[in-house]
Amino acid sequence: MQDEAVPTRFLPAKRLNREQILVIAEEIAQSPSAASLELMPLGVVILNHTRQIVYANERFVTMTHAPSVDAILGKRLGEALGCDHAGETEGGCGTTRFCRYCGAARAIIKSLAGQRDTQECSISRSGASTLEALNLQVWAAPMEFNDKQLVLNSIIDIGHEKALLGY
């Protein structure tokens, strides 16, 4: 695990190492549920207890602009999506002062505490030539898999709804 002494302004910074992430990812990939999650028409991500990605379907990978799921395994949600705040602290996504107000972080926290939650999340990310704003709805639910506490997330881009409402 990463050093727990990393300063944070919100959530713990500790992480599992790459090898630990890959073990969990392989267990999930071999489960019958993985094929079903891949068919979902929305982004699906499974996070471990340190909020790191251990599974992502192709729809979510497309949202991140990553070349493959392997490129985002072990990252946190904001890091994978390119949140401008995720790189502001050594601890990454969830550890900045801005993360206190992030709907995704709040939904994940509730889920780690055993409750389902749905929140809106606005992410600013820098594109190749411009600043891009993502408006997402994040649903999070606790799940247990092979004695591991995980969070199942579905992520929907609601930017078009915000535009229609004039936000």
In this prediction the pTM is 0.94
Q: What is the pLDDT along the chain (167 residues), one digit of tens a residue?
A: 555 578 899 999 999 999 999 999 999 999 999 999 999 999 999 999 999 999 999 999 999 999 999 999 999 999 999 999 999 999 999 999 999 999 999 999 999 999 999 999 999 998 777 889 999 999 999 999 999 999 999 999 998 887 777 76
Residues contacting 93, CB < 8 A, separation 6+: 51, 75, 76, 77, 78, 79, 83, 85, 86, 99, 105
- Strand partners of residue 141: 152
Which are the contacts of 158, defined by CB distance < 8 A and separation ≥ 6? 120, 135, 136, 137
